[in-house]
């Protein structure tokens, strides 16, 4: 898989210095600056310590199964802002190259918040996932209007169970219980940061659920195509 992060520091140089400091015990394969410069810090075939405690589709050691890309942005703590065009074009080029060397399905191009939703928010709701998918990297689905009652903390029943089962099938960790607890809200928030960035509130309204169902269909089709080819 490829895991995208934002650096969450005041400058790119500050982030690179930290990623190169053995005492920090954190590393990444690449850093992409706001002006489009790309720095390789760790060879792709080696483990980098970027994901931390994480999970995706049964994988509990994401560091061993992923390439980590740090995208320079101050993040929510230091003045979160849109990612410049030059930077996103560089990320797209980098993914083009990575996916020539490695088999990485679209359903495994993820954000840090996807694999560690209880700890991380990056690269966040301003990251242009739709643009990335349009360039051929990652899944994206926009449904027709999807009315219906929203599911939220405190709800329970079959609808909540189906939502949780869908999120788990997509890749998120928690198993379905039928109870919309705070953990479910946290995972829904992470899902929205990636796939419904105009609503990041942990409430699973009709459109959020419709996007999930569409993404599951895309991921399933990709899996079948991968087997056949």
Q: 66, 40, 71: which is closest to 54 by C-alpha? A: 66
Look up 179 and say whether it is catalytic. no
Annotated catalytic residue, options 33, 44, 59, 70: 70
Residues 6+ apart with CB under 8 A from 190: 111, 113, 114, 117, 172
Q: At what angle do helices 158-170 and 206-228 cross, to 10 degrees?
A: 40
Tokens for 152, please give them. 């939220």
- Burial (Cβ within 10 Å: 0-12, 13-18, ≥19) of residue 187: buried
Q: 137, 8, 19: which is closest to 80 by C-alpha? A: 8
Asked whether the beta carbons of 185 and 105 are under 8 A apart, the reply is no
| 3 state SS of 56 | strand
- What count of Cα atoms within 13 Å lies in the side-chain half-sphere of residue 25? 1
Catalytic residue numbers, as ranges: 70
């Amino acid at each position: 898989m490829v895991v995208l992060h934002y650096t969450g520091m005041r400058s790119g140089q500050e982030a690179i210095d930290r990623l190169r400091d053995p005492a920090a015990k954190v590393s990444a394969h690449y850093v992409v600056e706001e002006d489009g410069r790309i720095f390789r810090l760790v060879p792709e075939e080696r483990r980098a310590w970027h994901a931390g405690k994480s999970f995706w589709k049964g994988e509990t050691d994401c560091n061993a199964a992923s390439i980590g890309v740090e995208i320079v942005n101050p993040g929510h703590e230091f003045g979160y802002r849109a990612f410049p065009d030059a930077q996103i074009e560089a990320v797209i080029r980098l993914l083009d190259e990575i996916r020539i060397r490695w088999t990485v399905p679209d359903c495994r191009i993820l954000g840090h918040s996807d694999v560690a939703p209880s700890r991380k928010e990056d690269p966040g709701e301003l990251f242009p996932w739709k643009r990335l998918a349009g360039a051929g990297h990652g899944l994206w689905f926009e449904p027709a209007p999807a009315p219906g009652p929203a599911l939220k903390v405190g709800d329970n029943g079959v609808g909540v169970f189906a939502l949780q089962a869908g999120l788990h099938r997509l890749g998120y960790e928690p198993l379905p219980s039928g109870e919309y607890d705070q953990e479910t809200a946290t995972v829904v928030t992470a899902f929205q940061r990636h796939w419904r960035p105009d609503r990041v509130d942990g409430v699973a309204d009709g459109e959020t659920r419709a996007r999930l169902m569409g993404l599951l269909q895309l991921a399933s089709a990709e899996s079948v195509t991968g087997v056949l080819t």
